[in-house]
């Protein structure tokens, strides 16, 4: 990993963890950015050299270990769809992961925290104040995705990024923009349904 890429990882609003494979389904932390630690509720943890399941005991059921092992062997970048990691009986964290193989025995996982998104959407679907909730969600979630995409563009303007790294960062930006588009469409559908339901009630 070069200095520029590490700097991007450090300042990214996405969670980023780099692992070294030391055995079958055994991956130890090499790098874990601040955004990721904050998302996962382990800010300031001494992660270096620790296995994933030492820090996250329920990681096997989450599916990430299988994906890391697969990407390590095939070298093909893959994604783990929206999945929930169970912390305990009262807390579940939602994540989307994209895993890519780096040099030698290293793999990187770039992920976003979808927990608040799930919470917002759940509330929007259950409550009557849909418009206010939709605006709160839009302000919180979409700005984060836009900021990350803008950060990638600024990185391109300031340094000479290698072609393979540029392709990787462009994919990250594309994912963010697609997420924005999908979430906007979903919100529009929910708002339209809510308005239609209210109009039907008024007409009756």
Contacts 24+ apart (CB under 8 A), 62-68: 62/95, 64/97, 64/99, 64/109, 65/25, 65/27, 66/25, 67/97, 67/99, 68/19, 68/21, 68/27, 68/99, 68/107, 68/109
* Res 22: pLDDT: 95
Q: What is the pLDDT along the chain (204 residues), one digit of tens a residue?
A: 667 777 778 888 899 999 999 999 999 999 999 999 998 889 999 999 999 999 998 888 888 999 999 999 999 999 988 888 888 777 788 888 899 998 889 999 999 888 877 777 777 666 656 566 666 666 666 666 667 777 777 777 777 777 777 788 888 878 878 877 777 777 777 777 766 665 565 555
* Res 10: pLDDT: 84
């Amino acid at each position: 990993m070069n200095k520029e890429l590490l700097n991007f990882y450090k300042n990214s609003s996405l969670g980023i963890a780099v692992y070294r494979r030391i055995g079958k389904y055994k991956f130890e932390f090499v790098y874990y950015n601040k955004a990721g630690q904050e998302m996962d509720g382990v800010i300031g943890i001494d992660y270096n050299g620790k296995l994933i399941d030492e820090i996250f005991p329920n990681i096997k059921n989450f599916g990430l270990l299988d994906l890391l092992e697969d990407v390590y062997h095939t070298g093909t970048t893959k994604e783990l769809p929206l999945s929930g990691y169970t912390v305990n009986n009262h807390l579940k964290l939602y994540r989307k992961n994209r895993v890519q193989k780096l040099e030698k025995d290293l793999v990187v996982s770039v992920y976003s925290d979808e927990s608040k998104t799930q919470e917002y959407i759940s509330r929007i679907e259950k409550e009557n104040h849909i418009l206010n909730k939709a605006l709160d969600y839009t302000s919180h979630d979409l700005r984060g995705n836009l900021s990350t995409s803008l950060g990638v563009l600024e990185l391109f303007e300031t340094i000479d990024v290698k072609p393979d790294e540029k392709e990787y960062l462009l994919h990250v930006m594309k994912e963010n923009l697609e997420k924005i588009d999908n979430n906007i469409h979903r919100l529009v559908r929910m708002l339209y349904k809510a308005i239609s339901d209210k109009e039907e009630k008024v007409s009756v």
